[in-house]
Structure 1
């Protein structure tokens, strides 16, 4: 809607529309047409014209009257939460969640499904068809968050889902009739962390520990992709050797996931997105030896990645964030003595309470409209 190949004049118009919409998003109901003119340096007439187009496209609505500054009280502006929706589909090993997210960041609808490997594709197709039938005219874009490497269009490889070179975006676009963006689950979680704990001028290494293990890097608030779209695929790097190495689901032995994934440390009853009370029960019953073994393996990888990437901070998310400070301290103990010539980065748990759909929704919003939410939208 605000993107696409256009001529120079139209491109400038669209850029100004994005600037105006971002200002309205950031102000959370306090922005005015006059404020947009001041912030952008555009004339009042141009600012009013931009707002009129945003309203016509059902992206923005007029709000209440602003506080008086001595003259006629201006009308405030906010994003329109009642029309356009972003579909976020979060795929996991045994289940999936769908969230329909309005432009103000609220989830207008949620539903989940469970599946077996044999029935997964049909279950996902049925879910997408239900969403399309109910919300199709309101859909702006969709993003699919999944465990594995993707270039945004194709699932290059997902060990957990058993897909390789799978054209998922094309398949879902046929059903939804809107653009579909595929997103690695760790990238999405790193984006959500950036929303919740915004620090633009830093390099952050984010690690997710769940059914699998992956990493993502954000620099100055933006994801850093790799040339073949496989940054952070660290779960099947061998880090345990000899008699301590156990078989991994990928067919190798001693992989990081075989020692430090949530199932390896907590048992096979673990599921991504499981009920918090059930997760707490798994943690309470966990074998301390398995937790310690996982922390050592994870610490080795963290130390190596820290030396290579020189991040300002390292953030551990997913299930590991719920294992408590004792687990994190064990990981820190492995990294405390940094290799000569390097400095150990600070290590902390991910910010709690962020919705599982938030990062992928942010990426869908950026892809569709070129704007983004701030943390206050999800406070």
Structure 2
């Protein structure tokens, strides 16, 4: 594949079937070049031709032919590695899941190689379950908790695991025999929401995800924002009080000391790990609830003034939060941002539901291995 193949495929992904003339116009390619490129895509099965119906009274002649993406011509694996969780899926070329799996494990005694082994076993199980031929699997996208290197090969650091510089791509490629791309997990979710979910029309999408910690990912004009090339937007480590609890990152008074599974579960007297409807339980404790709303409002307002998103998407526990929580954020943030942003700013729950992390991994794989135009 080449860069022009990628441009054609992205147009077909985002806007549906197109005539060759329209594709040539939009890619600035000559009709001859466009015909040559689409012939290659037709040969490998990535696209197909569709005959358009000719309306009554139209000129008699050959029916118009459009080119369309074939979503199930090839597939990718998506994996989300959270704190104590692995979620995995196999999706088609539009990130629609064919199957999913998940498991939990103890973070206190798990070394990277053990987690990698569990990922491999989970992925092999999904491949066997679907019966998809290995030749139709483009590769794997892995979302990890923490920043990644600029080549998308390594997890540079994970506070929850106390890991540093874990070579996930090398290990998984050797074990599974397929290309692997590594991405910050919430950045991958933001990418999936921007490409395939509720954020397709947003210029700048900020995805905020609450599980073990509070993470964020930003996509601007369809491109993931990677500060320093590493991808992580550490919203949970904004200091919201000057004198507070010590955070797992080593600082004091971070947002995560108020808004994380550990902090909220402790305040609501919940002992079960990864509880469902966590914020609904917290609503019965007004002091904890008010602090969570107040500090998240401060963090979102600060992020909005700095990054100018027009859409903020809530994932994880925030996607499951009571309407009263989301309504409070919708009400309290706009007065604290600059006037031009107030009218444009929208708040929505994630449209990707429970599989957001794994679909995020798949979206990263699709971007890198299929729609980029980079040879594979």
Considering the TM-score relative to the shorter chain, is it more than 0.5?
yes
Taking the aligned partners of 1:123 and 1:205, their CA distance within structure 2 comes to: 31
Alignment of 1:1-379 (within 5 A): 2=1, 14-28=2-16, 30-33=17-20, 35-37=22-24, 39-40=26-27, 42=29, 44-63=31-50, 65-68=51-54, 70-117=60-107, 118=109, 121=115, 122-130=117-125, 135-151=133-149, 152-195=152-195, 196-199=198-201, 202-227=203-228, 229=230, 231-242=232-243, 245-250=244-249, 253-266=252-265, 267=270, 269=272, 271=274, 278-279=276-277, 282-283=280-281, 286-312=284-310, 314-331=312-329, 335=333, 338=336, 342-343=338-339, 345-346=341-342, 348-354=346-352, 355-356=355-356, 357-370=358-371
- What stretches of structure 2 of length at least 5 have no aligned partner? none
CA distance in 2, matches of 1:303, 1:335: 6
What's the CA shift for 1:369? 2.4
Unaligned runs of 5+ in 1: 3-13, 373-379
In 2, Cα distance between the equivalents of 1:24 and 1:334?
Answer: 40
**Residues 114 and 46 (structure 1 numbering): CA distance in 2 closer, same or farther, change over 3 Å?**
same
- Specify which structure has the bigger relative contact order, considering alpha-carbon pairs within 8 angstroms and separated by 6 or more residues: 2
SS in 1 for 2:227: coil
Q: Which moved more, 1:145-154 or 1:323-332?
A: 323-332
1:84 to partner: Cα distance: 1.6
Runs of 4+ in structure 1 off by over 6 angstroms are none
Q: Aligned equivalents of 1:262 and 1:15: distance in 2?
A: 43
> Matched residues in 2 for 1:333 and 1:281: separation?
18
SS in 1 for 2:319: helix
Check whether the contact 1:336–1:344 (CA below 8 A) recurs between aligned residues.
no
For 2:278 and 2:253, how far apart are their aligned partners in 1?
27
Q: What secondary structure, in the 3-state scheme, does the structure 2 residue paired with 1:149 have?
A: coil
Taking the aligned partners of 2:64 and 2:340, their CA distance within structure 1 comes to 52
Q: CA deviation at 1:142?
A: 1.4
Deviation string 1:189-240 (CA, Å, 9 cap, x unpaired) is 222332322345x444443222211223333332221115264123234423
Alignment CA distance shift 1:240-1:44 (3 Å): closer
Secondary structure at 2:368 match in 1:
helix
Pairwise CA distance, 1:101: 1.1
Distance 1:75 1:312, change over 3 A: closer
In structure 1, what is the Cα distance between the partners aligned to 2:304 and 2:66? 47
Looking at structure 1, the residues matched to 313 and 127 of structure 2 have their Cα atoms a distance apart, in angstroms, of 36
Pairwise CA distance, 1:149 = 1.4
Distance 1:31 1:173 in 2: 36
**In 2: Cα distance, 1:313 partner to 1:139 partner:** 33
Q: Whole-Å Cα distance in 1 between the matches of residues 363 and 65 of structure 2?
A: 28
